[in-house]
Structure 1
Amino acid sequence: MINTLFPHKRYSFMSSNIFEMIPDNISSLIEENIIPIKLKKGQVLFYEGTIPSGVYVLKKGKIKKYATGLNGKEHIFYLIRENEILGHHNLLCKEVYSHSAACLTDCLLHLIPKEIFLSIIEDNQEILQGLLRSISHEFGVFISNSKIMAQHSVRERTALSILRLDEFFEEKGCFKLSRKDHSNLIGTSIESLIRVLHDFKKEQIIDVEKNTILIKDTKKLITVANFR
């Protein structure tokens, strides 16, 4: 579905698995040095302004990446799902984290210590190229999001977010996300989001039950989203 709607993946949270095709010796090195981490829904993996100690591979669950404004409100700018990597941006540029990451669901992660990760990418061009593709894709999504925030109405942004979240959660037309997280992803208030969702329900575009959204008419959603 997403490939039809977004042929250039400008809006998609989907990113490639950079560890999908690596030599056995590097795979063994990673397995020998990973540190498994289990977190519950709502727990924070790392905070903005802290120092990276390695990179994380998400083995199970969903994670949000967000920045916090002066008023304490979150802006969610990217979502991570199984087999994707996070924490590498600031590690590579030798800076503190520019954002925070927290669990949308219960999560299992593998931490690859900083020294191991840096030695791996130094000796393996395929992984380095995969990292560059991942960073480039995320940057492209960030630019597209900036345009959406500046030029699209809350109604249009909400429609587009539903299409993206449907792809991200892979539940075939149905997904669950808290109103707070959904509004922080769109860049609006919870009250404004609820009003738009109510309108969509009246127009028979979606159905809503608590925090679960069921898509009833994808074509109408595409029309409302008004993306280019």
Structure 2
Amino acid sequence: MSISGIFPIDRWNFTTQSILNVLSEEDYNFLISNQTDHHYQKGDVIFREGTVPSGIFLVRSGKVKKYKVDQIAKEQIIYIANQGELIGYHAVLSEERYPDSAAAMEDSLVSFIPKEDFADVLLRSPVFMQRLLKALSHEFTVLANSISVFAQRTGPERLAIALIVLREKSKDEFKEDQEIVLNISRSDLANIAGIASENVIRLLKEFKNEGILETDGRKIMIKDIKLLVKRANYK
């Protein structure tokens, strides 16, 4: 079921999957001509906050989380990249160190693309540069909205919003007639919603009792998206 009209998903969700689609075949082949593929297991770190970037990364399969860690080692997940998405390009564009870290949420295949090739393609394709700037602008809007709203939301509302965004983010992995299944650890879900893991477990049970969702181990199936949106209390 679409949530268009009942939840402003564009304020919460962004993706870089469409950016590469504007490249010509020649420019795309040039971009990936010197790429190297790396297999990461769940939990493997792809890059760390504060290190100097030497390139960007293209998620070929699996899921990658971008996150920050505070002084007491608490993790805050700020984005989840799916297959076909680029990560690590912010630091390359700004010529600064990585502002966050990235790690595989599941077994993933990720291609490393040297920053020189990325920079050359930006010069070769003005359309690609425009699309990237548009994506960056929307990403800033989404992050600003998240910071503002999450600071004022209760635990149940935060979790509901996180589940809605994850559901929309996962839709492309399933056929139209298939049930969308979220396969995520409770700790990762807690780090997205910004609440304790024990509260996530308790709230999932509440949502299950209310008929909003079903669970099977790590898997979460949203059964009533309208009730979940109501739980998010987002206007």
Name the TM tier (shorter chain): over 0.9
Deviation at 1:30, TM superposition (A): 2.0
Question: Hey, what does 1:212 align to over in structure 2?
Answer: 219
- The equivalent position to 1:181 in structure 2, one of 172, 181, 188, is 188
- Rounded Cα–Cα distance in structure 1 between residues aligned with 2:204 and 2:26: 50
Aligned residue pairs: how many?
A: 228
Pairing 1:119-198 to 2, within 5 Å after superposition: 119-170=120-171, 171=174, 172-198=179-205
- Rounded Cα–Cα distance in structure 1 between residues aligned with 2:165 and 2:193: 11
TM-score (norm 2): 0.91
- Rounded Cα–Cα distance in structure 2 between residues aligned with 1:19 and 1:178: 30
Deviations 1:83-136 (A, max 9, x none): 111101011111111100011111112211011111111221111112112211
Pairing 1:97-108 to 2, within 5 Å after superposition: 97-108=98-109
- Rounded Cα–Cα distance in structure 1 between residues aligned with 2:118 and 2:9: 30
Structure 1 unaligned spans of 5+: none
Opposite residue 124 of structure 1, the aligned amino acid is: S
Opposite residue 95 of structure 1, the aligned amino acid is: E
Structure 2 unaligned spans of 5+: none
- Rounded Cα–Cα distance in structure 2 between residues aligned with 1:91 and 1:42: 24
Opposite residue 139 of structure 1, the aligned amino acid is: F
- Rounded Cα–Cα distance in structure 1 between residues aligned with 2:29 and 2:65: 29
Q: Evaluate the alpha carbon distance shift between residue 93 and residue 31 of structure 1 in structure 2; reply closer, same or farther with a 3 A threshold.
A: closer
Deviations 1:175-212 (A, max 9, x none): 11001100000001001111111111111211122221
Q: Which runs of 4+ in 1 moved over 3 A?
A: 2-8, 13-16
Deviation at 1:2, TM superposition (A): 4.5
Deviation at 1:41, TM superposition (A): 1.6
Opposite residue 231 of structure 2, the aligned amino acid is: V
- For the 8 Å contact 2:9–2:165, the answer to whether it is kept is no
Deviates more, 1:117-126 or 1:84-93: 117-126
Question: Hey, what does 2:65 align to over in structure 1?
Answer: 64
- Rounded Cα–Cα distance in structure 1 between residues aligned with 2:59 and 2:6: 27
Identity %: 34
Deviations 1:25-66 (A, max 9, x none): 212212321111221121110000111111111111111100
Deviation at 1:6, TM superposition (A): 4.2
- Rounded Cα–Cα distance in structure 1 between residues aligned with 2:112 and 2:13: 25
TM-score (norm 1): 0.94
Question: Hey, what does 2:41 align to over in structure 1?
Answer: 40
- Rounded Cα–Cα distance in structure 2 between residues aligned with 1:141 and 1:17: 17
Q: Evaluate the alpha carbon distance shift between residue 8 and residue 76 of structure 1 in structure 2; reply closer, same or farther with a 3 A threshold.
A: closer
Opposite residue 107 of structure 1, the aligned amino acid is: S
- Rounded Cα–Cα distance in structure 1 between residues aligned with 2:69 and 2:50: 11
Q: Evaluate the alpha carbon distance shift between residue 2 and residue 38 of structure 1 in structure 2; reply closer, same or farther with a 3 A threshold.
A: farther
Q: Evaluate the alpha carbon distance shift between residue 5 and residue 103 of structure 1 in structure 2; reply closer, same or farther with a 3 A threshold.
A: farther
- For the 8 Å contact 1:16–1:134, the answer to whether it is kept is no
- Rounded Cα–Cα distance in structure 1 between residues aligned with 2:4 and 2:20: 23
Partner SS for 1:20: helix
